[in-house]
Amino acid sequence: MEIQQSTLHASSLSPPSSMHESQLMAVAQSLEAAFLSEMLKSAGIGETPSEFGGGSGEDQFASFMRDEQAKQMTAAGGIGLAQSMFDAMMARSR
């Protein structure tokens, strides 16, 4: 049995620059959204009010609402954390 080696070019291993940058930005934005979601949780956003609350069902789904609010905040510009992380990841990938 003979195994043939194929030659790979460097260009076939690395994605195009714009694709790589968009992937890094997407990762940075998802990290910022996760951070903001945790900050919203710490601030008490989505907690069930003691009176006239939705009960355990509201408690279970409050995290989904916080996550979506954090994603919308990030999409609207966020707090600049995504851009800082993106710049750091770009510097490390070069």
Paired tokens of 48: 């069930």
Phi first, then psi, for residue 21 (nearest 5°) are -65, -40
> What is the tens place of the pLDDT at every residue in 8-64?
444 445 555 888 899 999 999 999 999 999 999 999 887 777 666 666 777 788 889
Question: What pTM was estimated for this model as a whole?
Answer: 0.73
**pLDDT at position 6:** 43
> What is the tens place of the pLDDT at every residue in 52-75?
666 677 778 888 999 999 999 999
| Structural domains counted in the chain | 1
Assess if residue 8 is contained within a domain: no
Assess if residue 2 is contained within a domain: no
**Domain carrying residue 40:** 16-93
